[in-house]
Amino acid sequence: MKLLVLNGPNLNLLGMREPEIYGHETYAALCEKIRAHAAACGVEVEIFQSNHEGALVDRIQEACGVFDAIVINPAAYTHTSIAIPDALKAVRIPAVEVHLSDPARREAFRRVSYVRSACVATIAGHGFDGYTEAMDLLCRMLKS
Ligand code: DQA
């Protein structure tokens, strides 16, 4: 199984970014956790982070025929982007939406997720564990 993990804007600043919400661990630590979990599950993983919506759309399009599943934390684009869910729907690759925090418990403008409609599940508020939970969910789904 080949898995693509996509991370949106400002997630590269984990560790220094609002630690009271996102914790003190760095983006490098998140990538390390994802890679270790993928190795333990026998999954091939590629991780990509961008602060640009179009770059994320490009990676989703390029994933067509290459990757079996996507884990995506679109960050702020969750609440604004139509292009990202459109791309996910176009390539028809099963995707899970992940958020470190629980946007439903934060400001009102975070309660809308346009990406959710293009995903098989959403995992929010579990910190870094949300990524490994999403990977497990997709592995189970693709094996059955
Ligand atoms: C986030 C939640 C979003 O509302 C926010 O804009 C982010 C991170 C999360 O992982 O909790 O950048 O996606």
Mind listing the pLDDT tens digit for each residue in 74-88? 999 999 999 999 999
Distance CA 67, CA 47 (A): 12
Catalytic pick among 37, 99, 114, 131? 99
Q: Is 77 a catalytic residue?
A: no
Mutation pick for ligand 1 pocket among 72, 73, 116 (CB with most ligand atoms within 8 Å) = 73
> 122 by DSSP, 3-state: which?
strand
| 122 pLDDT more than 90 | yes
pLDDT digits (tens, 9 = 90+) for 28-41: 999 999 999 999 99
Residue 144 confidence (pLDDT)? 82
**Mean pLDDT score, 8-19:** 98
**Mean pLDDT score, 116-128:** 98
Torsion over CA of 12, 17, 18 and 19, rounded to 10 degrees? 90
Q: Are 71 and 122 in contact (CB under 8 A)?
A: no
Give the mean pLDDT of the chain.
Answer: 98
Question: Considering the entire predicted model, what is its pTM?
Answer: 0.98
* Structural domains of the chain ordered from first start: 2-143 (3.40.50.9100)
Cα(125) to ligand 1 centroid in Å equals 10
Distance CA 32, CA 131 (A): 12
**Mean pLDDT score, 36-55:** 98
Q: Are 74 and 82 in contact (CB under 8 A)?
A: no
Cα(101) to ligand 1 centroid in Å equals 7
Mutation pick for ligand 1 pocket among 101, 105, 113, 133 (CB with most ligand atoms within 8 Å) = 101
